[in-house]
């Protein structure tokens, strides 16, 4: 099912995944208009999209996701919303009111804008972290959408993404102003890597400071399956196509899908080494400290931060839940997305790795210069 002639809104269009999705839409579909919604859109982004835009109109909507009037204006006349924008925070560094306001309240306001402005389809970018891992570190290996698991989420980020996802799925089939019905679905990507991934840059910077040796924060046996950003964009496109198809719309509406690809199952730390080893980086053989000691250190830092909270806000660089996440086997299958959405990875593991490593190589001189200047 083609999206030709449609008008869509992409929230978070200036971000890591948002930019990739906009480019894919321009390359794969002849849409009437794509609206780039974000707090700020860099002019350079429009220049990079110039060669593939064709006859598609690109419109910039800069504003706050918590502004209902702004969202209604952005959605007016649109038929599809890709809701990617959110605050990503695995350190609990962002104030609760801020992250809840953007991730949950912003999603609710956007859903309300869709109902008021007769937007037919809504695709929500969720995360694997709404599933876990839980604080016990219970593993999941090659799980599916039917896997039963005690989430007991600890991160504020995970909790707010979970609530926003639930609100999205509950909004499926709500009545639009014109009498039609809204169709929604949610995509749960694994850890997303690729060109523009700020987490990879951060790990590379740490490795540079450590004499080109990457820190090991994950046990080799804690297997996960990261996903390439280009393939996550493909999944979003396939979800939009499926929601437009009258025969498939209700079958997938109100459901969530895990999104991954054929990237090998490895630990987070070993994945960093795989994509950075061609650049001259090695990796520590063992964890910096035994796992039990890491948990004790994190516990002490967390207690100190709570005691000092009335006087000063201190964010521990590492928390127990993050240590658990980095050291728990947690992998899933994309077979349901393949069956229901027609999703299949466009980029092979070899292509994804090559593109990611080449991008890191292009960033390496700048990273070295910034670090040496400090």
Beta strand 255-259 with 183-189 is parallel
Phi and psi torsions of 134, nearest 5° = -80, 175
φ and ψ of 58, to 5 deg: -110, 120
Separation CA 230–CA 362 (nearest Å): 19
In the structure encoding, which two tokens stand for residue 147, read together?
A: 């896997």
User: Which residues are known catalytic residues?
Assistant: 157
- pLDDT over 70 for what percent of the chain? 100
Give me the CATH topology for the region 7-197+227-262+331-349: Rossmann fold (3.40.50)
- Rounded Cα–Cα distance for residues 306 and 261 (Å): 40
Report which of 213, 170, 164 is spatially closest to residue 12, judged by C-alpha positions.
164
The token pair that represents 328 in the structure block: 């728990």
The candidate with the shortest Cα–Cα distance to 84, out of 97, 63, 65, 68, is 65
pLDDT of residue 238: 97
Rounded mean pLDDT of 156-160?
Answer: 93
φ, ψ of residue 352 in degrees (nearest 5): -65, -45
pLDDT of residue 178: 95
CB contact set of 132 (below 8 Å; sequence gap of 6+): 138, 140, 149, 151, 152, 153, 328, 330
Compute the distance between CA of residue 333 and CA of residue 257 in angstroms, rounded to an integer.
Answer: 10
Element (H, E) at 255: strand 255-259
* Spatial contact of 230 and 197, defined as CB atoms under 8 Å apart: no
Classify 82 as helix, strand or coil: strand
Does 46 have pLDDT greater than 90? no
Average pLDDT over residues 116-143: 95
Average pLDDT over residues 242-261: 94
Question: What is the mean predicted confidence (pLDDT) over 250-259?
Answer: 96
Give the pLDDT mean for 224-249.
Answer: 96
- State the pLDDT at residue 17: 97
Query: Are residues 207 and 281 in contact, defined by beta-carbon separation less than 8 angstroms?
Result: yes
Closest listed residue to residue 141, CA positions, set 34, 70, 38, 222: 222
Q: Residue 134 region, left (φ>0) first, then alpha (ψ -120 to 50), else beta?
A: beta
Handedness of CA 216, 324, 319, 194 (dihedral sign): positive
**Rg over CA atoms, the chain:** 21
* Length in residues, the chain: 374
* Cα–Cα nearest to 267, from 317, 216, 228: 216
At 159, the pLDDT band (50, 70, 90 cuts) reads very high
Please answer whether residues 345 and 261 qualify as being in contact, where contact means their C-beta atoms are separated by less than 8 angstroms: yes
Q: Where are the chain's structural domains?
A: 7-197+227-262+331-349
Q: Which residue has the higher pLDDT, 91 or 81?
A: 81
**Widest CA span of the chain, in angstroms?**
63
pLDDT of amino acid 360: 97
Confidence of residue 155 (pLDDT cuts 50, 70, 90): confident
Token representation of residue 293 = 């000691």
pLDDT by residue (tens digit) across 5-40? 999 999 999 999 999 999 999 999 999 999 999 999
Check whether 53 has a pLDDT greater than 80: no
What average pLDDT does range 131-149 have in this prediction? 94
Alpha-carbon torsion (64, 66, 69, 74), positive or negative: positive
For residue 148, pLDDT over 80 is answered with yes
Beta 330-332 vs 213-214: how paired, if at all? Answer: unpaired
Q: CA angle, corner 12, sides to 9 and 14, nearest 5? A: 105
The per-residue pLDDT for 289 is 87
Name beta bridge partners: 123. Answer: 82, 185
The pLDDT tens digits of the residues spanning 271-305 come to 999 999 999 999 999 998 899 999 999 999 989 98
């Amino acid at each position: 099912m083609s999206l030709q002639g449609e008008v869509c809104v992409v929230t978070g269009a200036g971000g890591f995944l948002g930019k990739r999705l906009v480019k894919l839409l321009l390359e794969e579909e002849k849409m009437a208009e794509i609206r780039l919604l974000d707090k700020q859109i860099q002019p350079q982004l429009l220049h990079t999209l110039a060669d593939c835009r064709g006859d598609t109109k690109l419109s910039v909507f800069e504003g706050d996701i918590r502004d209902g009037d702004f969202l209604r204006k952005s959605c007016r006349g649109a038929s599809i919303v890709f809701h990617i924008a959110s605050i990503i925070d695995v350190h609990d560094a962002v104030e609760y009111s801020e992250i809840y306001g953007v991730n949950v309240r912003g999603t609710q306001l956007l859903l309300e804008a869709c109902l008021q402005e007769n937007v037919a389809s809504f695709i929500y970018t969720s995360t694997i972290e709404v599933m876990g891992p839980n604080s016990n570190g219970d593993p999941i290996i090659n799980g599916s959408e039917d896997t039963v698991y005690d989430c007991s989420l600890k991160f504020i980020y995970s909790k707010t993404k979970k609530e926003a996802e639930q609100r999205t799925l509950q909004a499926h089939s709500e009545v639009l102003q014109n009498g039609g019905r809204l169709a929604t679905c949610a995509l749960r990507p694994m850890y997303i890597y690729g060109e523009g991934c700020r987490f990879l840059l951060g790990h590379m910077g740490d490795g540079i400071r450590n004499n080109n040796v990457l820190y090991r924060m994950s046990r080799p046996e804690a297997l996960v399956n990261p996903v390439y950003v280009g393939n996550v964009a493909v999944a979003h496109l396939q979800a939009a196509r499926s929601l437009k198809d009258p025969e498939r719309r209700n079958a997938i509406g109100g459901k969530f899908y895990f999104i991954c690809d054929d990237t090998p199952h490895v630990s987070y730390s070993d994945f960093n080494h795989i994509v950075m080893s061609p650049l001259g980086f090695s990796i520590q053989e063992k964890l910096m400290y035994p796992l039990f000691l890491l948990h004790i250190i994190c516990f002490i830092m967390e207690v100190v931060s709570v005691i000092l909270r009335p006087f000063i806000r201190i964010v521990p660089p590492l928390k127990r839940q993050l240590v658990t996440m980095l050291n728990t086997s947690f992998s899933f299958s994309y077979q349901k997305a393949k069956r229901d959405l027609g999703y299949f990875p466009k980029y092979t593991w070899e292509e994804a790795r090559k593109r990611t490593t080449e991008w890191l190589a292009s960033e390496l001189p700048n990273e070295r210069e910034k670090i040496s200047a400090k």
